[in-house]
Amino acid sequence: MGVVCAPADRPVRPPRPEADTLVDLFARSNGKRIVLILETFPFFMVGRLVGMGPGTIAVKAEEGVSIEFVGRRFYILVDTIAAFFIEEPDHPIPSLSNIPPTPGLRASEATADRSVSDDDVDPRYNLLQLVGQTLLFVLRPEQLAILGQTFRPICVATLEAAAADYVRLSTVNIRWSSAPEWVFPTPLFVPNTQIAVFLPFSRDIRFPLAQ
């Protein structure tokens, strides 16, 4: 049976709104500014969408985060995003410095370069590309506990290996507010489903745990 083609003069219909998916939306928005409200640390961010992979987007932070994170690329699991907006021609995202202050809201202390180069775009990102590097991980639970001491699940660790559905971390520096240099005594395995955010990071950088 031959292929049946539509008449040349028939207009191509755009996808129906009800058929659109988040994958479609993120794919056609690469390079645009985005504002994110997240379930986990850093909770709020304005940046630029610079890539996407299975269930993950890459965002280069510009504002709304502490200065230690400005200009860094965050890899964020889509299902940890509570709400977001991607800039449109009629609805640009304003700089936080131009928004009247509200209680608890502050602009970042530095402004990142908002240009996007080809090197920033990584459409098929996965953890295998970062094996051997030191990363900051934010896990999905709101808090965890060790021997009765609760902490926000943020750590800096070396990614030793990445399997199909888990990672192996070594020298796991859990960022306790009272003991930010503490290292867990053994390596840790973490299921991928428990990872909310990750990014290459240095152990030497200190940052506030409250955003």
pLDDT in tens, 9-41: 555 455 555 557 888 888 889 999 999 989 888
Residues 120 and 135 in one domain: no
Residues 51 and 143 in one domain: no
Band the pLDDT of 106: cuts 50, 70, 90.
very low
For residue 208, what is the domain's CATH number?
A: 2.30.30.100
Q: Does residue 10 belong to any structural domain of this protein?
A: no
Residues 113 and 41 in one domain: yes
**What's the domain range around 206?**
127-211
Q: Are 37 and 81 in contact (CB under 8 A)?
A: yes
Residues 116 and 146 in one domain: no
| Beta carbons within 10 angstroms of residue 92's beta carbon | 10
Residues 29 and 117 in one domain: yes
State the pLDDT at residue 100. Answer: 55
pLDDT tens, 150-164? 888 899 999 999 888
With helix as H, strand as E and coil as C, how does 131-164 read? CCCEEEEEECCCCEEECCEEECCEEEEEEEEECC
Mean pLDDT of 178-188: 86
Residues 84 and 40 in one domain: yes
Residues 86 and 38 in one domain: yes
Residues 52 and 149 in one domain: no
Amino acid at 202: S
Host H or E run for residue 199: strand 195-200
Q: Are 14 and 64 in contact (CB under 8 A)?
A: no
User: H helices within the chain, ranges in order?
Assistant: 22-27
Answer yes or no: is pLDDT of 71 > 90.
Answer: yes
Answer yes or no: is pLDDT of 125 > 90.
Answer: no
| Beta carbons within 10 angstroms of residue 65's beta carbon | 25
Q: Does residue 27 belong to any structural domain of this protein?
A: yes
Residues 116 and 45 in one domain: yes
Band the pLDDT of 124: cuts 50, 70, 90.
very low
Q: Could you give the C-alpha distances from 63 to 18, 108, 147, 157, 173, in angstroms and in order?
A: 32, 5, 36, 25, 26
Residues 168 and 202 in one domain: yes
Q: Could you give the C-alpha distances from 153 to 76, 140, 141, 177, 194, in angstroms and in order?
A: 15, 8, 7, 11, 10
Q: Does residue 186 belong to any structural domain of this protein?
A: yes
Q: Does residue 4 belong to any structural domain of this protein?
A: no
Q: How many helices (H) and strands (E) does the chain have?
A: 1, 12
Residues 114 and 137 in one domain: no
Answer yes or no: is pLDDT of 114 > 90.
Answer: no
How far is the C-alpha of 147 from the C-alpha of 59, rounded, in Å? 35
Answer yes or no: is pLDDT of 5 > 70.
Answer: no
The count of structural domains within the chain is: 2
Residues 61 and 133 in one domain: no
Answer yes or no: is pLDDT of 207 > 90.
Answer: no
Q: Does residue 85 belong to any structural domain of this protein?
A: yes
How far is the C-alpha of 198 from the C-alpha of 135, rounded, in Å? 7
Answer yes or no: is pLDDT of 89 > 80.
Answer: yes
